[in-house]
Structure 1
């Protein structure tokens, strides 16, 4: 069992914080996730697909099953759609409501990581853990997206942290909570909800040569009963309703085949995540490098071994999977955030200067990105995206310049001293707000603006819009009716690409055309 003395000391330091400061700080953590949450169009394909499936569920009144443009959708279990539909019922169906469950999930995850760190390493480390969570680029992206990954990451964090609490205390309560979080995770994403916490415990038990915690968890019948009671009813209903279609669509295609085969062209080498992870860790990548450089000392500590094992398993497991998507590696980034927060809290002046340099370099990259995209857009190979990006509105240089100047002054203030960890965290927060308020809206307009405007034109006319030679689920969301991907019928409107107009284009009139997005209508 872990030594309880440091844990008790951390608890006392965390408990000494006044309640009003905790509440204020928790609200500050929500800002990077909620700021301009509905100010950007839905991005295709994933945001559009999840949001349209939720819209169709609300329209049908069938909350037991999801469809996408009328076809069965077996990609994910039902959990995220229930939450999105609930938010849409409360706040109306819009970008804000379908993204809200992800934003709140990442906010709660930040609070959970902060509380865990504060009770073990002190109040300042806890505060930094929360700030690093909501300002890390990868978590900010999934926390502002209407997909299942923000919610899944929350449940993985809750389950795996409670599994550690069980290991260190041998109490049943955290173990039972672990089973409950896993059960909910099965309703949100699937088997990965069991795999990550289970692997974290297995790696720790193997490295520590202590098998009793794993044995007690595996033999805890009430815990397994709780897990099954949460997850089995919907799975049983789906199996009863769809039979082998559900087994083949969800279990085989979207779970087994994602590991053994490539889905959607998302392939990559075994080194894929070694490139992606430092980018998703921005602007805190120097801290991640520091943690990895000190891995031997961290591994010698029981909790450090648990966190490193958790993170390493996720990277290795998905590196050998055939289908690779950037957000997969985030399933193991939360433990790295805890270790990074501890490293920042104890950082030497030299390390703090390196982190400040990383923050400023990231700010330069982020502010320059829209300008770089416009500059290189004519060289994009795909004609559709070349047209979309080449015609995008010019970004404003004044906000970018003022932001970089202000951030530079914040980091360079009192140059005799290195920036304090809290000042660095504040700079990270400012960068996250700039990304949410300026950068993401620009990319939303560049990639999705014409799609949303085409939907507004189509929505004013009766009839079906067939998507031909492209797949933009967000179009159906803004159209507010199903828009199937198929060959168009004579009376259909047609959404297509300018570079792939159908051969019978002359028999239809152009209702809308902008930056490669074309909407055709039948001639009356």
Structure 2
């Protein structure tokens, strides 16, 4: 009994520490452009326009995403004011929700201690840990997808009607968060699982349950209908055709057109520091395929991996859409692991993070002119305050690899928590300071100036969030205060300089 009590208490302490870690450091990093800036500026414009039905960015309609994340950010900002903390809080809460969904699912499927391991892996793998700290729609979508794939598997396993309704409700909220992907991926996973287990009849029952479909429609469709009725078909046409079909096919331009094998290294990175567990699962996939839940997790992940590998536009966080069941599977595998070599990816991760500034310095001459100027003060941000915590983490992991007293699962989960804290309090603040601090400072200066605000030859929407105003993107006119690139100042009309730092300049156009 004494032997088990310590690890059990340590598991619980680590679990609650990880839950609290979602809210640490949310204000430590400036909003990162483009994505965070675009989402939060659009939320701010809802208040400026007094319109909480449709989204606008820089004064023009924004068709990129549905409404739910903007409503959540608006509610948080109404409670706490417009700050990095408030705007990122919905994502942090969704990261915590995803973790608790994983815990509850694994507890029903396995036992309480395995459930804690599954929750720890979910919360401290680098993919979820990062996405839950960004003020964008993806943490919300990930939480909805997790709830959907967990609930539909439990329905398949236990046949409880409430799980079927929960799955459809989660897909409804996901549809309101990011559109068709929230419906297609869970249903595609369920179909393939039922196909491979010869249970297609269960799939047909799942997709033809009338009340569940009505529940989905009641959650997902009213806003789409309302925005179409009020503003015309622009959002529906642009969102579904351009931002869904167009992104996949490349018809709207392949802005993130990476190769077919792009997601192989991404999978290794988003699962850090549990990459060793992922490789072990891949090596044993044939045996795991005989296990019903493992098969379901493999299908879910492989479907997303294959689908987005074929997409013309690729981003790393797309792989998280199929990772909820995979992280539970890794948590189950973590419970029985014994090899200290599974800590090696954590060691490599911390050592690599130590040398990020050196890598950026090496890339400096090859960057485009904008980023060349932004990177001139690397040493001011990647200083001893950056390197010492990472060096300490590296040494700690090395000691844990040698020391055999604590159990490997506990040590690996502790590495995950340390990595999360380093991400939130060390890495992101340093990177954000290099790339975003001048834009934040320009916005804070513009906040106190009574003049129209304009962005010219630059697209950094977080400027408007910090300025607290709607910022137009157009050619500047007399009397405007304009944010532009330092190397484009000679293209402005006669002006006076208000602020200049690295690649960013703020100027007032003379009357």
Both structures adopt the same fold (TM-score exceeding 0.5): yes
Residues 220-275 of structure 1: CA deviation (Å, up to 9, x unaligned): 00000111111111111111122231232211111111111154611112211112
Residues 374-430 of structure 1: CA deviation (Å, up to 9, x unaligned): x22531331011101122424222653354335533552563557521122112201
Gaps of 5+ in 1: 1-15
Aligned partner (choices 366, 381, 386) of residue 380 of structure 1: 366
Which residue matches 2:279? Answer: 289
C-alpha separation in 2, matches of 1:431 and 1:23 = 19
Matched, 1:466 2:454: yes
Which residue matches 1:5? Answer: none
Which residue matches 2:464? Answer: 476
Residues 491-520 of structure 1: CA deviation (Å, up to 9, x unaligned): 212211122335245x11221111110112
Runs of 4+ in 1 over 6 A off after TM superposition: 19-23
Which residue matches 2:352? Answer: 365
Give the 3-state SS of the residue equivalent to 2:26 in structure 1: coil
Aligned partner (choices 231, 249, 256) of residue 242 of structure 1: 231
Which residue matches 2:113? Answer: 124
Aligned partner (choices 335, 340, 343) of residue 325 of structure 2: 335
Taking structure 1 as reference, are residues 220 and 502 closer, same or farther at Cα in structure 2, changes over 3 Å only? farther
Residues 416-456 of structure 1: CA deviation (Å, up to 9, x unaligned): 55752112211220121012111111111101000011112
Taking structure 1 as reference, are residues 164 and 429 closer, same or farther at Cα in structure 2, changes over 3 Å only? same
Gaps of 5+ in 2: none
Quote the RMSD (CA, aligned, Å).
2.2
Residues 285-323 of structure 1: CA deviation (Å, up to 9, x unaligned): 111111111111111111111111011000111111111
Matched, 1:301 2:291: yes
Which residue matches 2:341? Answer: 354
Offset of 1:164 from its aligned partner? 0.4
Which residue matches 1:13? Answer: none
C-alpha separation in 2, matches of 1:112 and 1:22 = 18
Which residue matches 2:161? Answer: 172
Taking structure 1 as reference, are residues 408 and 55 closer, same or farther at Cα in structure 2, changes over 3 Å only? same
Taking structure 1 as reference, are residues 406 and 142 closer, same or farther at Cα in structure 2, changes over 3 Å only? closer
Offset of 1:96 from its aligned partner? 0.4
C-alpha separation in 1, matches of 2:14 and 2:273 = 21
Residues 43-84 of structure 1: CA deviation (Å, up to 9, x unaligned): 000000100111111222221111111111111111011111
CA contact (8 A) 2:149 2:325 kept: no
Deviates more, 1:358-367 or 1:468-477: 358-367
Give the 3-state SS of the residue equivalent to 1:307 in structure 2: helix
Matched, 1:415 2:403: yes
Aligned partner (choices 414, 431, 435) of residue 443 of structure 1: 431
Which residue matches 1:390? Answer: 376
Residues 75-103 of structure 1: CA deviation (Å, up to 9, x unaligned): 11110111111111111111001100100
Residues 336-356 of structure 1: CA deviation (Å, up to 9, x unaligned): 21121122211133xxx2221
Offset of 1:490 from its aligned partner? 2.3
CA contact (8 A) 1:370 1:439 kept: no
Offset of 1:118 from its aligned partner? 3.0
Matched, 1:316 2:316: no
CA contact (8 A) 1:367 1:439 kept: no
Aligned partner (choices 33, 54, 74) of residue 22 of structure 2: 33
Residues 433-483 of structure 1: CA deviation (Å, up to 9, x unaligned): 012111111111101000011112222221112211110000000011111
Which residue matches 1:7? Answer: none
Which residue matches 2:91? Answer: 102
TM-score, normalised on structure 1? Answer: 0.91
Aligned partner (choices 131, 136, 139) of residue 150 of structure 1: 139
C-alpha separation in 2, matches of 1:138 and 1:119 = 25
CA contact (8 A) 2:337 2:408 kept: no
Aligned residues: 503
Deviates more, 1:414-423 or 1:251-260: 414-423
Give the 3-state SS of the residue equivalent to 1:300 in structure 2: coil
Deviates more, 1:451-460 or 1:262-271: 262-271
Give the 3-state SS of the residue equivalent to 2:491 in structure 1: coil
C-alpha separation in 1, matches of 2:367 and 2:457 = 17
C-alpha separation in 2, matches of 1:118 and 1:145 = 29
Deviates more, 1:301-310 or 1:460-469: 460-469
Give the 3-state SS of the residue equivalent to 1:270 in structure 2: coil
Give the 3-state SS of the residue equivalent to 1:520 in structure 2: strand
Taking structure 1 as reference, are residues 249 and 401 closer, same or farther at Cα in structure 2, changes over 3 Å only? same
Which residue matches 1:495? Answer: 483
Give the 3-state SS of the residue equivalent to 1:34 in structure 2: coil
Matched, 1:215 2:204: yes
Aligned partner (choices 30, 38, 53) of residue 64 of structure 1: 53
